[in-house]
Chains A and B, each alone.
Chain A
Amino acid sequence: MKRAMYVGLGTIAGVTAVLGYHPGTLFGTATAQATTPRATTAANGTASSGGTFTGDAVSTQYGTVQVEVAVSGGAVSAVTALSAPANDPHSSQISAAVIPQLEQQAVAAQSARIDGVSGASYTSAGFEQSLQSALVKAGLA
């Protein structure tokens, strides 16, 4: 059955192409990214009052990824990509697929802080890291 693991994950393999892996590719690594540019925009609100919170810009070899979360009434209301790999049409297409996933996962995860998901599709660690830092700034993580 888990032939699906090889053949059924075409879309997931597609998503991974966003940041286009090859064996050994490494990014989204907090400990290894001393050069990661920090977000220049600070939080302009608080979790209780709401506002927008900008995540760290995370360098990947395919470009910089950075997300912003909008918080309303103490809950995430939207996740926006401020920066995503878009050097070619394929990357743009994939980024477009990742962002809605992130938004839904952020909304799902905020009520039960989780460290991973079983049975879920794949989300780029670069985006996830930027999202996480935005949630921390918002006081939601």
Chain B
Amino acid sequence: MTTTWSRHVHEERVWGTVITFDLRDEGLDAARAREASAAAAEELHCIDAWLSPFREDSAVSLIRKDARAQDTCPPPVREVIAACSSMTRLTRGAFDPWRAPGGFDPSGYVKGWGADRAAEILVAHGIPNVSVNAAGDVTCRGRAHPEADGWRIGVADPRDRHQIVGSVLVRDAHLATSGRYEQGDHIVDPRTGRPVIGVDSATVLAADGGLADAVATALMVDGPAGLAHLVDRPISAQVISRGCAWTIGPAFTTGSAARAA
């Protein structure tokens, strides 16, 4: 590697975690990078205000009190609600925000969806190469290095998240990993309301961040069996269960050209 791009990293504390923006380009303008980051960060705070179940005044909290509020929410919230319905169908109920303990909770979709929205804003500010890492769910646009084909994102080892089990080349797509380390041992099947044994981790690469996030959540419930009805979808996925990796799609089988179709 002989050339490197300038890099600008922004860390934003929001959603009860930290979201990192990584902006790269040749001769990246620092002022523009800061401006872009501020705009994307503002979007994340808006999303929190709309969709956090932990804010009394959020749309999600209103919906928990009265489901009819779904019809009067701001357009982005209705967009999330509609997308969550289609994710519930796609996952055959393994992802179902309406059956979350405590009431409607779209968080399993929102992290990936929100990372995509932040990335869109950064790109719209004229910065083509960005990644948005929402506590381990990563949206990538463009590439990380001048000669790279995208961003090479490591997948944390579910048994020791300070290690990686492998890496995936991500370009203009989102890589979501759901793991036991993140959720604890209490994984509930929304269809039965009962705890399931679950798997160690599920990682999904898809063009759409919200979809990747929701499907990874569902695969934590369904395990390797959940991969079967996803084979015809333009996604790659890996489920690690008892030390064995189950995969669909090219990203995890060839180790190259992992761009989401």
Binding site for B on A (CB under 8 A): 1-9, 12-13, 16, 21-32, 100-101, 104-105, 108-109, 112-122, 124-125, 129
Contacts and interface: CB of A to CB of B under 8 A. Distances in A.
Contacts of B135: 5, 9, 12, 122
Closest 4 CB pairs of A and B: A119-B177, A119-B156, A104-B162, A115-B144
17 contacts: A3-B100, A23-B14, A25-B12, A28-B11, A29-B8, A30-B8, A30-B9, A109-B164, A112-B152, A112-B166, A115-B145, A115-B152, A116-B138, A116-B153, A117-B155, A120-B156, A125-B9
B116 interface: no
A31 B34 CA distance: 10
B178 A119 contact: yes
B30 A29 contact: yes
A26 B13 contact: no
Interface residues of B, number: 75
Question: Which of A1, A26, A115, A122 has the largest count of B CB atoms less than 10 A from its CB?
Answer: A1
Interface string B166-196: 1110000001111101111001100000000
Contacts of B102: 3
A23 B201 contact: no
Nearest to A30: B7
Given A6-B16, A23-B14, A116-B22, A31 B28 contact: yes
